[in-house]
Copies of this chain bind each other. A is one copy, B any other.
Amino acid sequence: MVEHKNISQAVIKRLPRYYRYLGDLLENGVDRISSSKLSELMSITASQIRQDLNNFGGFGQQGYGYNVSYLHEEIGNILELHNERNMIVIGAGNVGRAISNHTDFYKIGIKVTAIFDNNLDAIGTKINEIEVFAVDKLVEYIENNKVDIVAITVPKDSAVRVAAAVVEVGVKAIWNFAPVDLNVPQGITVENVHLTDSLMTLSYNMNNECKIK
């Protein structure tokens, strides 16, 4: 495998989309695809596809196109989806429940292993067979279990405190749903899902009639 340092975030953000399209093709029994056909399907230029994949050494063969299963597997490798990772979820509210109940994450190697909340009614219950613990057990849990990703679904002030606490005990990756940008040290990865921001973007675009892909 070619070294892949300094790949732009724009390329990285496109990789999951490739992975998703290739997965759909596989499901539909398609075993190879030309770059022009893939380009048409994904509404991006064939040259963009070649450029993106060349960042990782390229995968196409002239006159043959792409082997769907191989390319799917390789993009999965690049995205590290074949490593098993444990995720804990902070907040057993609606978003926390939605994440804990999500059935697709295990397909990309990610398993929710525990949920934390400060609501006494939630503590001790299970969501999708995953136990809900009191937030004051959070640090102890992380110290004693393998935790790769912390999903934060609590309000912004609590989110800031939780992020600081989990980073302090060595967590390297945060999936943040709180409407706040978390200030974390270098070397910690944060991926945000800002629902209200997304809805504001929709609000702008629907009034300015642009089509977003």
Please report A residues at the B interface, Cβ cutoff 8 Å: 4-5, 7, 9, 12-13, 15-17, 19-20, 24, 42-43, 78-81, 83, 85, 93-95, 97-99, 101-102, 104-105, 107-110, 148-149, 172-173, 175, 179-181, 184, 186-213
Q: Give the oligomeric copy count.
A: 2
Q: Are B211 and A4 in contact (CB under 8 A)?
A: no
Q: Are B195 and A102 in contact (CB under 8 A)?
A: yes
The minimal Cβ–Cβ distance linking A179 to chain B, given in whole angstroms, is 6
Q: Are A211 and B189 in contact (CB under 8 A)?
A: yes
Please judge, given known A-B contacts A193-B193, A203-B80, whether A198 and B175 are in contact too, CB under 8 Å. yes
Residues in chain B near residue A197, CB distance under 8 A: 13, 16-17, 20
Residues in chain B near residue A187, CB distance under 8 A: 209, 211
List 14 A-B residue pairs with CB atoms under 8 Å apart, sorted by A's residue number: A9-B212, A16-B194, A16-B198, A16-B200, A20-B179, A20-B194, A78-B204, A79-B203, A80-B204, A104-B179, A172-B209, A173-B206, A189-B211, A191-B202
Q: Nearest chain-B residue to A194 (Cβ)?
A: B16
Q: Are B193 and A206 in contact (CB under 8 A)?
A: no
Residues in chain B near residue A16, CB distance under 8 A: 194, 196-198, 200-201
Contact of A203 among B95, B108, B207 (CB under 8 A): B108
The minimal Cβ–Cβ distance linking A141 to chain B, given in whole angstroms, is 19
Complex CA distance for A43 and B181, rounded to whole angstroms: 10
Residues in chain B near residue A201, CB distance under 8 A: 12-13, 15-16, 191
The minimal Cβ–Cβ distance linking A204 to chain B, given in whole angstroms, is 5
Contact of A94 among B79, B101, B173, B200 (CB under 8 A): B101
